[in-house]
Structure 1
Amino acid sequence: MESRAVPIVGRDDEQERLSAFVTAATGGSLVLRGETGVGKSVLLEYAVELALHQGHTVVRATGVEAEAGLPYAGLHQLLYPLLPKTTGLDAETRAVFDAVFGHRDISPPSIMTLGIAVLNLLSEVAVDRTLLLVLDDAQWFDDGSAEVCGFVGRRLTGSAVKVLIAVRADVASRFDTAALAETAVPALSAEAAARLLDDRYPALDGSARRLILEHARGNPLALLELPTHLDTRSRTPEEVFGAQALPLPRRLQHLYSARIAALGEDVRAELLRGALDGVGAGPGPDHRYRMDDVDAAVSSGLVDIDPLSGDLTFRHPLVRSAVVQMATPNQRRAAHAALARVHRDNLERRASHLAAATVDPDEQVAALLEAAAVSATRRGGAVSAVAWLTRAAELSETAHVRSRRLADAAFIAGHSARLGQAQRIVQLDPAPDGRRSAAAVLASEYLALYGHGDVRSAHRQVAAAIEALGAEESPEVRSRLVTLLLATSQYAGDAVLWARTHQLLDAQAALCQPLLRIYSATWSDVVRHGASAAADLEKLSADLAQLDPWDVTRLSVSAYHLDVLGDYRPYLQRIVDRELATGAAATGITMLHLIMLDQMATGAWEDAEQTGRRSLERAEELDYGLFAHQSRSYLAQLAALRGRYDEARELHALVDSWARPRGVGFLTQAADAAATTVALSEGDFETAYLLAIGITAPGEFAPYTYQASRSLLDLVEAAIGSGRALQARTHALAARAAGLPDISPRLALVTFGALAMTAEDDAEAAEMMARAENHAAARRFPFELARIRLAHGLRLRSTSGETAQRYLSTAADMFGRLGAPAWAERARTELRAVDGETRSAAIEHTVLTAQERRIAELAAGGLTNKEIGRQLYLSPRTVSSHLYRIFPKLGVTTRAALRDALNRQN
């Protein structure tokens, strides 16, 4: 059957049963039974199409509630298209139909007589083709019609007539005792419900999707109807305070309205209190309202008794919604007021009910809502906090306090990935002189930075807003503007913008706040300002649970720059899921970035890959361009480390082409660092050196360039590999002179490693190597430690083979465990070369090609890659690649050793 344009979702078993029924050679009857909206009509339509495809005659009827009391109204609707066929029946049978349908004024026949007449008529119609009778909403058939249909349905075996009937499970009818074959139509499985919703509403945002799936409980009608009646852009205060009730379309409300209206006033009030407090809404607080004295609602099929707990619960979430919507505004407010008294000891529940019960401005209620918003934010409920603060603003008694609360709501909305909502909130509070308010600047420039990466425009607008701040501006708004300016400056990575930032902050005296001092020191230039920040960071981070999620994240960013992020990662991993779901989702993406960076640093690369993919997916879903490309830059570095060079190059190109025109130096530096790792992994030291000095020149750490210190080993190793020993040594000494070991444990490790790699004598190399290996945090950074051990093993190869072998073996094992194939192979190659016998054999049996030998001779003569390339008409990169292959063949690692190795081969 291929005629349906839209496939039926999640009904494979039911379709199989219907297909067997329709195509069977003999007649029969089948009842489809399920709750309202579960999809019975869709299945009937499937059966009709299949029957028509088979060449059957199809007759359809639908029960109508308004005609349920009219004798034989349902039967008349069903048989009306067939009555012309009665002319072929005997006079006695025709008389039965005339009596039933009012053509003659005679006594109506018995059910059996009428049933036999109907069987005769159906047999007459089905002489040439199978006849399928389809009855939808048959629970509304009048009793007489239902009994006749039951009588007929039990006598169709062996005929060419089939009857297919759909009835509601929650409405009693004569078909309940008709003894006809039945098949249940249950709610859709969770998987099928999600698939149906996603197929029909692919653009639905995550929170609305979860809300609808929760309330629909697999009911297809609810899944398809609710999204069109829900504002999916944000959850309004009515939704949050109103009680777990979705706006219910009339089609769905009608299902329960009559039964609710028939209840007494006290019962309806009790149901309303239960509905407004979320009774039966899934897992919730133990102190959720408990309904009582609602036996009538139980009898009406609106309320069930939980078999485990004995608690009363609504039969379906849509019942709860219908109860709320049928109540008047005054009834709802009275119920909320009663519930606020019930929950007087629960801050958030009391505040939410008071907010819904209050009409006029009330500062006491507004303050309670504000306190609830603070509590919710720190527990991962930033989405709810936005609504509570907006409602608190509406109930504020003064314009100044109202403005402050709206600004808070807009700020949290921005961090909750609801940028459009943030913009709408600030429009509720325009500045009196027509200028944009500070809150409006925060909302718009937050979007400019994180959505579009527009660092220069954002910096200019935020700086202007800070300059224009009046003395009356709240400390919160001032602090938030300064923090956004610092974040914009960090992403720009531009010395000129940072100078402007510090000039503004000095003039505003904003850095008197400890948090802002930490951010300014660590986000700007950790080489020049980071050493003094570590103690303050530890003090301010003593109790992360008491901080807002964005401050937790900002302190964690500072921890990353100081290379102590591992102390924060367990807490971030505990809260990131809740922030992404119901909290500060944008902040949650930054948490994922930080978790990924620490996983990379500690060698958990497989976990880091999964975290990075997750952050990229979430950033793309929320349309945060800056965060998406930041994820790609980290994934590029990870791909380079793991030997997937084509992937790394592709990601590098994507990030660079987006970030460089916008001046997002933070990302261009990260992308270039990944490209440097690719070149080093491939042994292309010339390219690696050119990329590394693009970040910072040898012997200095460019101001406000966060990758300058992080790429220390890259520049040193690339310089040594490309024959620039002087530049390598200069850079290592500059690291020590700049005090890098005092800034962070990682910088201490790499500084000592760089000094060991470039030491002028073996004693200094041994001392620096010992300081690197014995550093308390050395093993927290396994990749850097393995690189340093590899380099030291190469240095010792000619003087202490046994010690060199130990270093190289350890490095090879570490690279292997990390999953860095190129580095592991390089270490293994050097390890084989250390063994004198193997080394001699390798040299003896290794034959250089003519071109390789010529390149080796020129390099041994002191020519640079560029000079060799000029002589041989090759690119410097090709020369570097040849040398990468030549070195292991000759058992050397530096150009200085090339001459002796070539002489041994002669």
Structure 2
Amino acid sequence: MVGREREQEVLSGFVTAPGGQALVLRGDTGVGKSALLDHVADLAAHEKHRVIRAAGVEAESELPFAGLHQFLYPLLPYIDRLDDTHRGVFDVVFGRSQGPPPSVMTLGIAVLDLLSLAASQKPLLLVLDDGQWLDTSSTEVCGFVGRRLTGSSVKLAVGLRSDLASGFDTAALPHLPVTTLSEKASEQLLDMHHPGLDPRIRRLVLDEALGNPLALLELPPHVLRSGRAAGNREDLVGYTGVPLPLRLRHVYGARIEALGDAVRAELLRGALDGVGAGTAAGRARGTRYRMRDTEEALAAGLLGIDPLSGDFVFRHPLVRSTVVQTATPNERRAAHAVLAHVHRDDVERRAMHLAASTVDPDEAVAAALEAAADSATRRGGSQAAVTWLTRAAELSEGREERSRRLGSAAFIAGHAGLLDRAQQLVGSDTTPGGNDSPASVVASAYGALYDDGDVRTSHRQVTAAIESIRDSGATEPNEVLTRLVNLLLAIDQYASDETSWERTHDLLGSLGDLVSPLSRVYEDAWGDIVRRGAGVAERVERAFADLRALEPWDISRLSVAAYHVDTLSHYRPHLQRTVDREVETGAAVSGITMLHLIMLDQLAVGEWDEAERTGQRGLELAASHHHALFAHHTRAYLGLLAAMRGQVERARELQATVDAWARPRGVGFLTQITDAIGTTAALSEGDYEAAYLHAIGITPPGTFTPYAHQAPRTLLDLVEAALHTGRSEQARTHALAAQQAGLPDISPRLALTTHGALAMTATDPTEADHHYHHAETHPSAPTFPFELARIRLAHGIRLRHTQGRKAARLSLTLAAETFERLGAPTWAERARAELRATGAATVASSAHLATLTWQERRIADLAAGGLTNKEIGARMHLSPRTVSSHLYRVFPKLGITSRAALRDALGKLPGGQDV
């Protein structure tokens, strides 16, 4: 190692430092990253570490989890020692079983557990060369793992080319720049390996290499062999005015061209199938082409021997690249055809090679690519699926099949939020009438809806396309029709227009069994839950029971249905397992929708700080993709949260922004939320007249406006506002209307609020007590703490007036404590004022009412010990955001407001508390 004293010092510290960590080595091609990775591997082996090596392969950069498999293959014996959940994750990722693709977080945690298990007896070093070629899915998992190695016995070293973009660029891992050598070190390296060079050649090599070690080693023999030492610089180098890597490829190219045809063909097959380069070992046997009879290439310095497997490997990635570049198109296609046969049992790899081996349309190859795209989609590789479907369309023999596959690619691109790409795919459809095809309608309607909230135009387009399919005499359900139907339902949900919804019901009724059962669930849940919501919760539950049959977008759509019937908490784990993968792989539409749903559940269950962070994340994502509809949708939820917290000025600012955008466009879903913001903000201020006026803008008393999703959700708001403004008759009428409409049978939240409304408006004390009891003892009441606290506040006020101050204290205390925990200060002050009226001077601490879960206690103990959220997350295999969420729940349970008070508070816990 010449001129690498600084890098060697850093790498020595990296290996010997206690605990796990990651380090990225970044530099130009040929600068010596691989040599430094060899050095760190030798250091680790000397320190009794187990070393596992892997390398990114350009040919596999679009093959999901191909790189991760290299790391995990040597650890397969440990996988069987994991719990069933984590074993199941690996089975899905590597295609050994069917199931929903795991999120980056879920897979990352499983990998962390596997590595921890493998390193429990002997420290582990993972070495990744050519990380810029690692597939996106593997890069995301490696980045996730690399950020969480603190406290483990696992280290990760990654080598990257600085001239190529990589997912590691944004992985926030520590990095070590690997620069070119100094002039002095370059001279030392050159003289060490090529002593006695003619001074002119020596100067020429130094000038051309510019400190690149690989060039310093490789150029002199090439110049000497050329026999043109007296020539000019252009003759000696072979190319002029081009980057150094191309010059080096020319050096390797000369050696490759000198090989026999059979050897070159064998090298080409190995290069196209991603055979390793350098000294990378530990590669899964049987998953790559095994080059044979290539001793001639070994003697020419183009190949090496993998010390573990004994297989031939390429000496350097540039050798592999040059082998491919010097081959003719026909030679490459022939090699791909052989590889397709070799991988005949691997649906994705076979399809990839078949596509590359085929020039003319071939329906069998197109079908294989379509199957590979479906496999990639289920494993979280939506962008690879778009690429493969596009290629499948190119190879389709019939116009109809070509159009259908382009439509599928456009649909997936649309769900990924790649609207320009979706439009481009549709525009490439040269089939007669292609511009009016269902795929074209889907792409343009997505653009109109997401970019500008144009519900009217998109509704007309999609309705016409569905009618065309119906009138053409379709007799079997098909994917295109299902996509159009679901898109129409989404448009109707945003429009929240009674006339549009009734037309849609008529249209879908005329389609009969052509409409899928899932679409029927969306139809009933997304529109008028009051009139069509009976039994929806059970249907959603049955659909979720078969997760393996669900695409990511089906999970988000069913979760929207669950939100409308207030059972979203049951399915939030599915969303949280999926959302990170959807966002990080570019599937913005599904990802943003899932973030909306997670935020809504956080609002419902009282995790308001977490809801704020989720909303901000969704807003940033929507803005970065220029999806105006989703951006305003997120602002609406943030405005509703601000109103609930009594942040009236911010709530009204967001309300005005959303309303000004949504109302002219007829996006009734959002204008209803802005009215709900106004209602909630006014209630928080105690301005009950304004609250009443906002509430009746959503629905008048005594009825529930059809297709107004906020009508049942604001039941309690309207009743409270009416009672406080002397409109007792209207309040009672509305409460009875909720009961008559069967709202308690539709959702647990509506059961809670209906009983609450009936209790508040009852004139008979016995009836009031009956409904208060039903509300406060409802099994799901704790799931909706804000509504429950409001009902308890009303109950406490009634009890103080009817049964005396002492009888009211418990209800008022519970209400005040809940409002304080949620962070609703105006509501908390209202409850405290009522409590003071009972003669209680202060609100008792709620610490004695709450217990910590095992996980909360563990996190609290670590935080009290001085660890940061990031360090706690690494220790417990959680994200820092999750740690923060747990701490926000711990603080009010302990009656504290800061980390500094944790140690004392934990010391005061009863010794027998069940944690």
TM superposition score normalised by structure 2:
0.64
Indicate conservation of the 8 Å contact 2:386/2:413, yes or no.
Answer: yes
Rounded to whole Å, the distance in 1 between the matches of 2:484 and 2:461 is 10
1:701-728 per-residue CA deviation (whole Å, 9 max, x = no partner) reads: 1111011111111111222233322222
Distance change in 2, residues 1:146/1:512 (3 Å): closer
Q: Which amino acid aligns with 1:352?
A: M
Q: Determine which of 698, 701, 711 is the counterpart of 1:698.
A: 701
- 1:441 equivalent in structure 2: 441
Q: Determine which of 259, 270, 284 is the counterpart of 2:252.
A: 259
- 1:635 equivalent in structure 2: 638
Rounded to whole Å, the distance in 2 between the matches of 1:136 and 1:661 is 69
Indicate conservation of the 8 Å contact 2:403/2:431, yes or no.
Answer: no
SS of residue matched to 1:167: coil
Distance change in 2, residues 1:437/1:147 (3 Å): closer
- 2:728 equivalent in structure 1: 725
Distance change in 2, residues 1:279/1:598 (3 Å): farther
Rounded to whole Å, the distance in 1 between the matches of 2:401 and 2:636 is 43
Indicate conservation of the 8 Å contact 1:616/1:632, yes or no.
Answer: yes
Are 1:782 and 2:778 an aligned pair? Answer: no
Distance change in 2, residues 1:838/1:677 (3 Å): closer
Query: What does 1:679-718 correspond to in 2, within 5 Å?
Result: 679-718=682-721
Query: What does 1:46-85 correspond to in 2, within 5 Å?
Result: none
Q: Determine which of 578, 583, 587 is the counterpart of 1:584.
A: 587
Q: Determine which of 649, 655, 673 is the counterpart of 1:646.
A: 649
Query: Which protein has the larger Cα radius of gyration, Structure 1 or Structure 2?
Result: 1
Q: Which amino acid aligns with 2:376?
A: A
Q: Which moved more, 1:745-754 or 1:425-434?
A: 425-434
1:450-488 per-residue CA deviation (whole Å, 9 max, x = no partner) reads: 121000111112122222224366722222222211111
- 2:113 equivalent in structure 1: none
Are 1:665 and 2:680 an aligned pair? Answer: no
Q: Structure 2: any 5+ residue segments left out of the alignment?
A: 8-25, 34-181, 221-241, 844-915
Q: How far off its partner does 1:433 sit?
A: 5.3
SS of residue matched to 1:143: coil
Q: Which amino acid aligns with 2:622?
A: A
1:506-562 per-residue CA deviation (whole Å, 9 max, x = no partner) reads: 233366431121111111100000113233222222212322222222111111111
- 2:539 equivalent in structure 1: 536
Indicate conservation of the 8 Å contact 2:815/2:831, yes or no.
Answer: yes
Rounded to whole Å, the distance in 1 between the matches of 2:518 and 2:774 is 33
1:540-599 per-residue CA deviation (whole Å, 9 max, x = no partner) reads: 222123222222221111111111112221111112222223363311211111111112
- 2:268 equivalent in structure 1: 272
Q: Which amino acid aligns with 2:750?
A: L
- 1:99 equivalent in structure 2: none
Q: How far off its partner does 1:603 sit?
A: 1.6
How many pairs does the alignment contain? 635
Are 1:771 and 2:774 an aligned pair? Answer: yes
1:640-690 per-residue CA deviation (whole Å, 9 max, x = no partner) reads: 223433322222222111111111011111122123222211222222111
Query: What does 1:315-464 correspond to in 2, within 5 Å?
Result: 320-430=320-430, 432=432, 436-464=436-464
Indicate conservation of the 8 Å contact 1:410/1:421, yes or no.
Answer: yes
Distance change in 2, residues 1:702/1:331 (3 Å): same
Q: How far off its partner does 1:777 sit?
A: 1.3
Query: What does 1:787-826 correspond to in 2, within 5 Å?
Result: 787-798=790-801, 799-826=803-830
- 1:143 equivalent in structure 2: 197
Indicate conservation of the 8 Å contact 1:279/1:288, yes or no.
Answer: no
Rounded to whole Å, the distance in 2 between the matches of 1:694 and 1:677 is 13
Indicate conservation of the 8 Å contact 2:678/2:694, yes or no.
Answer: yes
Rounded to whole Å, the distance in 2 between the matches of 1:397 and 1:259 is 40
Distance change in 2, residues 1:454/1:342 (3 Å): same
Indicate conservation of the 8 Å contact 1:796/1:803, yes or no.
Answer: yes
Query: What does 1:119-138 correspond to in 2, within 5 Å?
Result: none
Rounded to whole Å, the distance in 2 between the matches of 1:34 and 1:732 is 70
- 1:289 equivalent in structure 2: 288
Q: How far off its partner does 1:285 sit?
A: 7.2
Q: How far off its partner does 1:743 sit?
A: 0.6
Q: Which moved more, 1:804-813 or 1:275-284?
A: 275-284
Rounded to whole Å, the distance in 2 between the matches of 1:316 and 1:771 is 73
Distance change in 2, residues 1:39/1:515 (3 Å): same
Q: Which amino acid aligns with 1:289?
A: R
Q: Which moved more, 1:293-302 or 1:476-485?
A: 293-302
Distance change in 2, residues 1:770/1:362 (3 Å): same
Q: Which amino acid aligns with 1:143?
A: L
Rounded to whole Å, the distance in 2 between the matches of 1:342 and 1:515 is 40
Q: How far off its partner does 1:268 sit?
A: 4.4
1:353-401 per-residue CA deviation (whole Å, 9 max, x = no partner) reads: 1111122332222222222222221222222112222222222233332
Distance change in 2, residues 1:305/1:583 (3 Å): farther
Q: Determine which of 192, 211, 233 is the counterpart of 1:167.
A: 211
Q: Which moved more, 1:776-785 or 1:305-314?
A: 305-314
Rounded to whole Å, the distance in 2 between the matches of 1:837 and 1:825 is 13
Q: Which moved more, 1:661-670 or 1:471-480?
A: 471-480
Q: How far off its partner does 1:310 sit?
A: 7.8
Q: Which amino acid aligns with 2:587?
A: A
Query: What does 1:84-103 correspond to in 2, within 5 Å?
Result: none
Are 1:611 and 2:611 an aligned pair? Answer: no
Rounded to whole Å, the distance in 2 between the matches of 1:148 and 1:484 is 68
1:41-82 per-residue CA deviation (whole Å, 9 max, x = no partner) reads: xxxxxxxxxxxxxxxxxxxxxxxxxxxxxxxxxxxxxxxxxx
Distance change in 2, residues 1:727/1:547 (3 Å): same
Indicate conservation of the 8 Å contact 1:35/1:169, yes or no.
Answer: no
Q: Which amino acid aligns with 1:348?
A: E
Q: How far off its partner does 1:425 sit?
A: 2.0
Q: Which amino acid aligns with 1:256?
A: R
- 1:600 equivalent in structure 2: 603
Distance change in 2, residues 1:725/1:314 (3 Å): farther
Q: Percent identity?
A: 58
Rounded to whole Å, the distance in 2 between the matches of 1:428 and 1:165 is 45
Indicate conservation of the 8 Å contact 1:34/1:167, yes or no.
Answer: no
Rounded to whole Å, the distance in 2 between the matches of 1:709 and 1:493 is 14
Indicate conservation of the 8 Å contact 1:170/1:301, yes or no.
Answer: no
1:130-158 per-residue CA deviation (whole Å, 9 max, x = no partner) reads: xxx989997999934389989xx9xxxxx
Are 1:573 and 2:617 an aligned pair? Answer: no
Indicate conservation of the 8 Å contact 1:377/1:583, yes or no.
Answer: no
Rounded to whole Å, the distance in 1 between the matches of 2:214 and 2:842 is 85
Indicate conservation of the 8 Å contact 1:366/1:392, yes or no.
Answer: yes
Q: Which amino acid aligns with 2:828?
A: A
Rounded to whole Å, the distance in 1 between the matches of 2:369 and 2:202 is 62
Distance change in 2, residues 1:523/1:136 (3 Å): same
Q: Structure 1: any 5+ residue segments left out of the alignment?
A: 1-10, 15-32, 41-132, 154-162, 177-248, 840-906
Q: How far off its partner does 1:292 sit?
A: 4.3
1:790-816 per-residue CA deviation (whole Å, 9 max, x = no partner) reads: 111111112232231101111112122
- 2:626 equivalent in structure 1: 623
Q: How far off its partner does 1:406 sit?
A: 2.1
Q: Which moved more, 1:382-391 or 1:627-636?
A: 382-391
SS of residue matched to 1:468: helix
- 1:232 equivalent in structure 2: none
Rounded to whole Å, the distance in 2 between the matches of 1:422 and 1:673 is 35
1:753-788 per-residue CA deviation (whole Å, 9 max, x = no partner) reads: 111222212211211111112222111111111111
Q: Which amino acid aligns with 2:247?
A: H
